[in-house]
Amino acid sequence: MKVTVIFINLLAISGLLIAFVKDKDRTRQSVIIAIKSFSRILPSIFIVIILIGVFIGFVPANKISEIVGEQSGPGGIFLIALLGSVLHIPALLSFPLAASFLKNGASITAVAAFITTLTMIGTVTLPLEIKELGRKMALLRNGISFIIAIIIAFIMGAIL
């Protein structure tokens, strides 16, 4: 089993134990919230898992690496960064998706660009952001985020 799995589960179990000793009611409440949010995200998880299966099973790896692989130019990176900005996927699900891209021949740069734009930029939530923070700040934050996501991606591709 992976170290990450053990580490995070130990963390959760010890957290629960400490919480339980301190306050049973609040611990119960926490568990209820956890179960609720878990069942809330479960359908999306199944959808993403099916998508990943179909994606890896049907799309040939050389097609992926042609577009966003080691040999592909900055055009592919730009494309995947754009895709990440527009899509509205819960961040927790973006990582298995990104891992499946990587497994199927996408480069580190492409995957880093995808995750970073996906989490940092919200096209769907942009109207809300404008409403709360003003047009100038919202557009600046999302625009500059796009640029730094691409910079981060190329640095990561160069190092890893």
Do the beta carbons of residue 75 and residue 118 sit within 8 Å? no
- Name residues contacting other proteins, limited to 7-66 (CB under 8 A): 8-9, 11-13, 15-16, 19, 26-27, 29-35, 37-38, 40-41, 43-47, 49-54, 56-58
Q: At what angle do helices 108-120 and 135-159 cross, to 10 degrees?
A: 160
1 near other proteins, rule: CB under 8 A: yes
Cα 114 to Cα 33: distance, rounded to the nearest angstrom: 30
What's the min distance (Å) between Cβ of 39 and other proteins?
8
Interactions with other proteins, residue window 93-112 (CB under 8 A) = 95-96, 98-100, 102, 108, 111-112
Q: How far apart are CA 56 and CA 108, in angstroms?
A: 17
> Which of the ranges 63-71, 73-81, 87-95 carries the binding residues for other proteins, by CB under 8 A?
87-95
